[in-house]
Structure 1
Amino acid sequence: MTLRYLEIFLALARTPNMRDAAAKLFISQAAVSSALRDFEAELGVSLFDRMGRGIRLNDKGRLLEERLAPLYNQLKNVLALVASDELAGKIRIGASTTLSDFVLPQVLYNFKMRHHQVEIECESGNTADIVRHVEHGLLDVGFVEGDVHNLAVEITPLAKESLVIVTADKALAEAGPYPIEALLDRHWLLREPGSGTRETFLRQLTPRGLRPQILLEFEHNDSIKQVLHNPGMLSCLSPRIVQREVRAGELFIVGVSNAQFDRTIYRVEHKALPFSSLREALSKEVESCLEEEERLCHLVLKTGGPLPEHEKERAAPRKAAQHAQA
């Protein structure tokens, strides 16, 4: 069965005359008659009553025409959309927790508003989870902040980021900077094993034989920020997560003199996955947002105060989304 059969059947259903239907379809009357005969033979039922030289839909034909017509129109629209240059389709993306909470929401909203035919599914998890789901085909693309050691996936660096040590203890922060060793006997709040944030922090300590005193581990950044307000707590987090609290004077950056907690944000795809214009367009959108967010975040942490007015206007939509997430 072909789409041409369906087109010919619907033309005959609306114009029950072989000659007129053939003229509308720009084919011969014999071709229409042959196609209808083959279509009915394939279905195993007669769809028209033959009345002399004319035809008329029978009960089966009327039922098929009523059910088929709207589906056929939808199918034509879908095929036309697929053949066009307009972005369309379904994409499954995953992002590690920091990105899914503080970067992606506004990116996905902006993208969806421009591309109404795109359906987006978004999953959040730690870096290890996202990479594993990309490997197993559960996600089309992932965005993660941790190191990736999986030969089944391809990684593309998108942006750089330096984590910061934060505390609610203003006096502690103002007395810095410290060698990292001087801070490790304090109470630390870390993300769970498998988190890229945790791995970035520990990567600077483990080769030196250093270990922090971990008081609690959490899967969510908001949980860490909540407990950070207790006396003497320290954590190592993305500046994206704490810039609002730093600006408000609720949290403070603790300077470290002998360690930098740098990491790369990666796009992760399965090596066997063919090129997709939709996946590429969305990834470029994420990359562009990361670059702008990094610039604004650096400005906030450098000044330790509010953004200049012209920067506030540029940042307003993203900050509104982040505030809703926090």
Structure 2
Amino acid sequence: MLDYRIDTFLEVCRFMNFTKAARALNITQPAVSQHIKYLEEMYHTTFFQFQGKKMALTREGRLFLNSAKTFRHDELYLRKKLEEARKEQASLICGATLTIGDFVFPEVMRNFLLRHPETDMAMEIGNTSELLKKLDDGEIDFAVVEGYFEKDAYEYRVWSKEKFILAASPVYQFRHPPGKIRDLFGERLIVREQGSGTREVLEKNLQTQNLSISNFSRRHEISSIHVIKSLAEAGCGITFLYQAAVQKELEKGSLKEIPLEDFQVFHDFNFVWRKDSIFSEEYEEIFHEFQKLGGQMHEEEKNGIDSARAGISQ
């Protein structure tokens, strides 16, 4: 059972304020102080320090925070597993960023549920920071994300390495022949919202050239990838997306990849869970099963294509 004083520690870290933590926990401030003092004495260390009037974690405090988040996640996961055992009903709750959830995971989930029809499965869609918070809070078991994250706090396995491309309608009229990023600044850029992994990857790669999205004279910010693709297909602008998100459009010819000399980007999709979890072995097994199901999916698609070609040749 998780020591209730660890919950107090986590609330203090959330607010960096004893009074606000006490209010959130509905206990007195002296009680909060006693809980923190108890933990510090137990571990023979100090978790907090003051820089002027500003409260901050010590190095040991940061280390304990990562462990405390894992403790809480593991206890909530254990409670869930025990409840499942009692009811003889398995469940799996995962998180995925939008590109992965919409364009990578649906077939994997289909194959998983065909193999495990007795398992209840749920998938939460959100940006990377939202999903990591849900993971820390024990609301999801693991996540597959495209954004950047603190690797010291999480165990992760690379799910895939994905190509990030510039896409436009075949009939889109460029102001200048597109060869480099700077040739695009007069174009209409259709881009994901701030906080999305897709937007973050674009921004970070532009920053390597001392550029930003603001260099584009006209910008349309859209939170839906399906709407972005629809607008790009209609010739309303150009967009940067993962190739996996536009694969069908590329194959049918409604969008085309525009190669750039100075923008050749590949980015990892990562399968993530809390670092040092006592359930790490189980998450490893899930990861490898999902990987096989992804491979099975591609093999099924390949066989379907081969069968179709054979039918045509006959």
Into which bin does the TM-score normalised by the smaller protein fall? Answer: 0.5 to 0.7
**TM superposition score normalised by structure 2:** 0.61
1-side partners of 2:147 and 2:299: how far apart? 20
SS of 2:139's partner is coil
Check if 1:249 corresponds to 2:249.
no
Structure 1 pair 184–168 and aligned structure 2 pair: CA distance change class (3 A)? same
- Higher radius of gyration, 1 or 2: 1
Count of residue pairs the alignment pairs up: 223
Q: Following the alignment from structure 2 to structure 1, what is the Cα–Cα distance between the partners of residues 211 and 249?
A: 29
CA distance in 2, matches of 1:117, 1:178: 52
Q: Distance in 1 between matches of 2:238 and 2:133?
A: 30
Distance 1:259 1:309, change over 3 A: same
Q: Does 1:112 align with 2:113?
A: yes
Maintained 8 Å contact 2:162/2:244: no
Shift of 1:136: 1.9
Instruction: Name the structure 1 match of 2:78.
Output: none
Equivalent in the alignment of 1:235:
239
- Taking a change above 3 Å as real, the CA distance of residues 90 and 223 of structure 1, as seen in their structure-2 partners, is same
**Secondary structure of the structure 1 residue equivalent to 2:261:** coil
Counterpart code for 1:206:
Q
- The aligned residue for residue 192 of structure 1 is 193
Task: Read off the aligned partner of 1:255 and give its amino acid letter.
Answer: P
- Give the letter for the 2:275 counterpart: K
**1:4-37 deviations in Å (ceiling 9; x for gaps):** xxxxxxxxxxxxxxxxxxxxxxxxxxxxxxxxxx
2:208 counterpart SS class: helix
**Structure 1 residues not aligned, in runs of 5+:** 1-74, 82-87, 300-306, 314-326
- The amino acid across from 2:229 in the alignment is K
In the alignment, the residues of structure 2 paired with residue 267 and residue 291 of structure 1 have an alpha-carbon distance, to the nearest angstrom, of 16
Query: Would you say 1:135 and 2:131 are equivalent positions?
Result: no
- Equivalent residue runs for 1:1-326 within 5 Å: 78=85, 89-149=90-150, 151-170=152-171, 178-212=179-213, 213=216, 215-231=219-235, 233-275=237-279, 279-288=283-292, 309-310=305-306
Distance verdict in 2 for CA 1:292–1:179, change over 3 Å: farther
- Measured in 2, the distance between the counterparts of 1:292 and 1:234 equals 33
The structure-2 alpha-carbon separation of the partners of 1:128 and 1:292, relative to structure 1 and needing over 3 Å to count, comes to farther
Deviation at 1:233, TM superposition (A): 0.6
Q: Which amino acid in structure 2 is aligned with residue 286 of structure 1?
A: F
Q: Structure 1 281/122 Cα, relative in aligned 2: closer, same or farther at 3 Å?
A: same
Cα distance change of structure 1 residues 179 and 312 upon mapping to structure 2, 3 Å threshold: farther
Instruction: Give distance in 2, aligned partners of 1:312 and 1:278.
Output: 39
- How far has the Cα of 1:280 moved from its partner? 3.4
Aligned partner letter, 2:104 = V
Aligned to 2:56: none
2:267 maps to amino acid: R
Q: 1:3 matched to which residue of 2?
A: none
1:255 Cα deviation after fit: 0.9
Structure 2 Cα separation of the partners of residues 262 and 247 of structure 1: 20
Instruction: Evaluate the alpha carbon distance shift between residue 178 and residue 293 of structure 1 in structure 2; reply closer, same or farther with a 3 A threshold.
Output: farther
Deviations 1:221-256, CA, capped at 9 Å, x for gaps: 101112113435111111112111112121111111
Q: Which residue of 2 aligns with 1:22?
A: none
The question of whether the paired residues in 1 share the 8 Å contact of 2:273 and 2:283 is answered with: no
CA RMSD of aligned residues (A): 3.4
Aligned partner letter, 1:269: W
Name the aligned partner's letter for residue 167 of structure 1: A
Shift of 1:285: 3.3
Structure 1 CA distance for aligned equivalents of residues 120 and 282 of structure 2: 10
- Report the TM-score when normalising by structure 1: 0.59
Residue 18 of structure 2: aligned partner: none
Unaligned segments of structure 2, at least 5 residues: 1-81, 310-314
Mapped partners of 2:180, 2:285: distance in 1: 43
Indicate if the aligned counterparts of 1:159 and 1:287 stay in contact, CA closer than 8 A.
no
Question: Aligned to 1:205, what secondary structure does the other structure show?
Answer: helix
Q: Is the 8 A contact 2:108 2:297 kept in 1?
A: no
Q: 1:202 Cα shift?
A: 1.5
Determine what percentage of the aligned residue pairs are the same residue. Answer: 25
Is the 1:163–1:238 contact (alpha carbons within 8 Å) kept by the matching residues of 2? yes
Give the 3-state SS of the residue equivalent to 1:112 in structure 2.
helix
